[in-house]
């Protein structure tokens, strides 16, 4: 295959909801909400919602009880991670089977595809048809000359469409949009940019990268300016993704109010995280404890630690972090993340402390 090298961003439409509808065809066209154990009386959040449910304002991360209130006749289903993983793996296999494709997986429901093509739109539609035929799942495809432009283009093609953003039309299409519409910016960073008088993508594109350094630092400041221009990497990297860490979290159906309850919960979380980390064979170099107090105030406590495989030491340090939890405040959620040394660290002379799982 010959032609220009393109980046395609493939995003499965309402993926989790679509997988559930495939398993239950009678749900087609109905508002479907997936989250937690499927019980809106429990504390849980929406993992995804069908387009029919989204029309009522339901979105990912919304408390399940609020979603149920917005759509009283919605079908609410429990999360089934194994089913979604299986569907995702099939989709990624289809993408890899496309002529000349280099595939970089971003998650269950999205991937970048690098391809050389004279007509990238035709290639994208061929790819959509292959995914649909093999899995009965629809996807949208963004076409770009960089990863950033391809990723942002996808939203203009939803659902099940194809859209292209390049250096030639980037500012024409994106320039007047708020900075939060950019991949990698979001609401908080957008608010910080607004303090600097930068509200649109065009204004961010025109910003002096060094002028952003006082607010965002020497790396992130120039990077945000680059995002505004849609610039950046243009090569899809199919190197297998390596997790930097593993995390677990639990939302309690009843607030924890006693120190003993919190201690037990942290120990249980640590045990689950350590099971995940054990399979990686890499030392733990940092821990982060996430605490959500009632009604909905979140705090994090993080600490770097000397690289170690020692299970007891990691547990002890997790318990130490829990000492920062305010004793007189009810706790509704706890999460623990263990950060691991990356494979390259060992070659750079990282020496973990001794110990064993």
| Dihedral sign of CA atoms 191, 165, 61, 244 in order | negative
Quick one: tokens of 76? Answer: 């609410």
Q: Average pLDDT for residues 152-162, to the nearest whole number?
A: 96
Of the CA atoms within 13 Å of residue 143, those in its CB half-sphere come to 22
In this predicted structure, the answer to whether residue 224 has a pLDDT above a threshold of 60 is: yes
Going by pLDDT thresholds of 50, 70 and 90, the confidence category of residue 19 is very high
Give the pLDDT of residue 357: 31
CB atoms within 10 A of CB 202: 19
Give the pLDDT of residue 242: 81
226 is catalytic: no
User: Residue 119 in 3-state DSSP?
Assistant: coil
Note the CATH number of domain 245-347: 3.30.1490.100
Quick one: tokens of 138? Answer: 């629809």
Q: Residues with Cβ < 8 Å from 288, sequence gap 6 or more? A: 247, 300, 301, 302, 303, 321, 336, 337, 339
**Any bridge partners for residue 110, and if so which?**
11, 107
Tell me the pTM.
0.80
Distances (CA, A) of 239 to 104, 132, 242, 276: 7, 26, 9, 21
In CATH, the architecture of 170-229 is Orthogonal Bundle (1.10)
Distances (CA, A) of 293 to 196, 267, 273, 319: 32, 18, 22, 18
Give the pLDDT of residue 280: 87
Rounded to whole angstroms, how far apart are CA atoms 189 and 282? 33
Cβ burial of 311 (10 Å; 0-12, 13-18, 19+) is middle
Q: Average pLDDT for residues 163-179, to the nearest whole number?
A: 98
What are the structural domain ranges in the chain? Answer: 1-164, 170-229, 245-347
Which residue among the candidates 20, 52, 110, 226 is catalytic per the annotation? 110
Q: Where are the beta strands (DSSP E) in the chain?
A: 4-12, 32-34, 48-49, 75-77, 102-107, 110-117, 139-144, 162-165, 245-256, 284-293, 297-308, 331-340
In this predicted structure, the answer to whether residue 114 has a pLDDT above a threshold of 50 is: yes
- Comparing CA positions, the residue from 86, 117, 146, 105 lying closest to residue 11 is 105
Rounded to whole angstroms, how far apart are CA atoms 356 and 278? 10
Give the pLDDT of residue 264: 95
Q: Name the residue with tokens 């089934």.
A: 80
Give the pLDDT of residue 343: 79
In this predicted structure, the answer to whether residue 2 has a pLDDT above a threshold of 80 is: no
Q: Residues with Cβ < 8 Å from 80, sequence gap 6 or more? A: 20
Q: Name the residue with tokens 């350590």.
A: 274
Give the pLDDT of residue 344: 66
Q: Average pLDDT for residues 222-235, to the nearest whole number?
A: 96
User: Residue 270 in 3-state DSSP?
Assistant: helix
**Alpha carbon distance, N-terminus to C-terminus of the chain:** 49
Give the pLDDT of residue 345: 53
User: Residue 212 in 3-state DSSP?
Assistant: helix
Give the pLDDT of residue 239: 87
pLDDT tens digits, 266-309: 999 999 999 999 888 899 999 999 999 998 899 999 999 999 99
pLDDT tens digits, 64-107: 999 999 999 999 999 999 999 999 999 999 999 999 999 999 98
Give the pLDDT of residue 351: 36
Whether the CB-CB separation of 200 and 246 falls below 8 Å is answered with no
Fold of 1-164: Alpha-Beta Plaits (3.30.70)
Whether the CB-CB separation of 259 and 327 falls below 8 Å is answered with yes
| Dihedral sign of CA atoms 26, 28, 29, 33 in order | positive
């Amino acid at each position: 295959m010959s032609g220009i090298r393109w980046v395609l961003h493939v995003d499965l439409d309402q993926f989790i909801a679509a997988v559930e509808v495939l398993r239950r065809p009678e749900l087609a066209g109905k508002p479907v909400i997936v989250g937690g154990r499927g019980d809106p009386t429990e504390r849980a959040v929406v993992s995804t919602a069908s387009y029919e449910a989204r029309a009522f304002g339901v979105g990912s991360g919304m408390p399940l009880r609020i979603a149920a209130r917005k759509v009283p006749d919605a079908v609410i289903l429990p999360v089934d991670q194994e089913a979604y993983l299986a569907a995702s793996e099939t989709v990624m296999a289809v993408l890899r089977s496309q002529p000349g494709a280099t595939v970089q997986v971003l998650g269950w429901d999205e991937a970048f595809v690098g391809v050389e093509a004279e007509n990238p739109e035709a290639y994208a539609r061929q790819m959509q048809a292959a995914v649909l035929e093999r899995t009965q799942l629809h996807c949208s495809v963004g076409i770009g000359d960089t990863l950033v432009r391809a990723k942002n283009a996808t939203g203009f093609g939803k659902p099940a469409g194809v859209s292209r953003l390049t250096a030639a039309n980037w500012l024409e299409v994106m320039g007047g949009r708020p900075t939060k519409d950019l991949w990698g910016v979001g609401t908080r960073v957008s608010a910080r940019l607004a303090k600097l008088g930068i509200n649109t993508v065009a204004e961010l594109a025109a910003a002096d990268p060094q002028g952003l350094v006082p607010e965002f630092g020497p790396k992130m400041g120039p990077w945000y300016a680059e995002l505004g221009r849609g610039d950046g990497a243009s090569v899809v990297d199919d190197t297998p993704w390596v997790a930097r860490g593993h995390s677990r979290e639990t939302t309690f159906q009843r607030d924890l109010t006693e120190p003993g309850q919190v201690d037990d919960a942290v120990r249980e979380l640590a045990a689950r995280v350590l099971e995940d980390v054990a399979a990686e064979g890499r030392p733990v170099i940092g821990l982060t404890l996430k605490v959500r107090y009632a009604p909905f105030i979140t705090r994090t406590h993080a600490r770097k630690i000397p690289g170690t495989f020692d299970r007891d030491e990691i547990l002890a340090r997790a318990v130490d972090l829990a000492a920062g939890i305010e004793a007189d405040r009810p706790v509704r959620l706890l999460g623990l993340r263990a950060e691991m040394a990356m494979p390259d660290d060992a070659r750079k002379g990282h020496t973990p402390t001794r110990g064993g799982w």
